[in-house]
Structure 1
Amino acid sequence: MARLQQTVALKDVKCFALHGYYPEEQLTGNHFIVDLETRFNPRGFDDDLSQTVNYEELNAIISDEMKNTQKLLETVLNNIISKVIDVYPFIDGVEVSIKKLNPPMPGQIGHSFVKLSYTSDI
């Protein structure tokens, strides 16, 4: 039987953070762009925020986690996904990605990119 699936997402969330494998990166910081997408079965359309995913809360999760310096972007992504699942246990899937703008390495590189996805077993 077919079912509705709803997506609530934030795209191009711009952050400055101190994430980076090398000590210099954790001192100077860098600019990042985060995308976060959630998928779930809609629980109703009656203007009740408890029936959906609140993108203001998603933004708060991103902001909080970007302030927590990590060596690996994979750790940041995993922490964001874990927090989203804790707040919204009914979600079927989460996809989050981070672009590090102008990563410090030789050559002209627009951004590096890491993505992590979660899909519920239910």
Structure 2
Amino acid sequence: MGIIKVENIRVYAFHGCLNEETKIGSNYRVDLEVKANLKASASSDKLSDTVDYVLLNKIVKEEMKYPSKLLETVAKRILKRIFKEDALVKKATISVSKLNPPIGGDVEMVTIKMTERRKN
């Protein structure tokens, strides 16, 4: 088993419970960690034998485009799609952070973190 991380994916998106958040938008940071068997790719040196981090980045950016009220919903959608599109991924952990959230205080970011395992 091995780990592939795609960290600090920066996205501008329109998530939130407040009307202003879905109209004005905000900056987000997404961190992703996936576990997969990397033995074959370590020996073969073939992209087809590993988890393509370009695909992971693409999934995150595409799914962040669809507005949701809750970051949990966005994270779950991303995880679901990762497992659907890459059979090598056995476990994935995602953190979705809203930078400078509108919560009436000096807060750098709020983050939700979720982990899923392949069901089969």
Shared topology, TM-score over 0.5?
yes
Secondary structure at the aligned position of 1:7 is classed as strand
Secondary structure at the aligned position of 1:92 is classed as strand
TM-score by length of 2: 0.92
Report the CA distance between 1:20 and its aligned residue.
Answer: 0.7
Residue 69 of structure 2 corresponds to which residue in structure 1? 71
Residues 51 and 88 in structure 2, CA contact (< 8 A), matched pair in contact too: no
Please say if 1:28 is aligned against 2:24: yes
Residues 83 and 118 in structure 2, CA contact (< 8 A), matched pair in contact too: no
TM-score by length of 1: 0.91
Deviations 1:73-104 (A, max 9, x none): 11110011011101112322000011101100
Mapping of 1:1-122 within 5 angstroms? 5-44=1-40, 45=42, 46-121=44-119
> What percent of counterpart residues are identical?
32
Query: C-alpha distance in 1, partners of 2:32/2:78?
Result: 9
Q: Would you identify which runs of 4 or more consecutive aligned residues in structure 1 move more than 3 Å?
A: none
Gaps of 5+ in 2: none
Query: C-alpha distance in 2, partners of 1:34/1:69?
Result: 15
Report the CA distance between 1:119 and its aligned residue.
Answer: 2.0
Report the aligned-residue RMSD.
1.2
Query: C-alpha distance in 2, partners of 1:43/1:64?
Result: 29
Report the count of equivalent residues.
Answer: 118
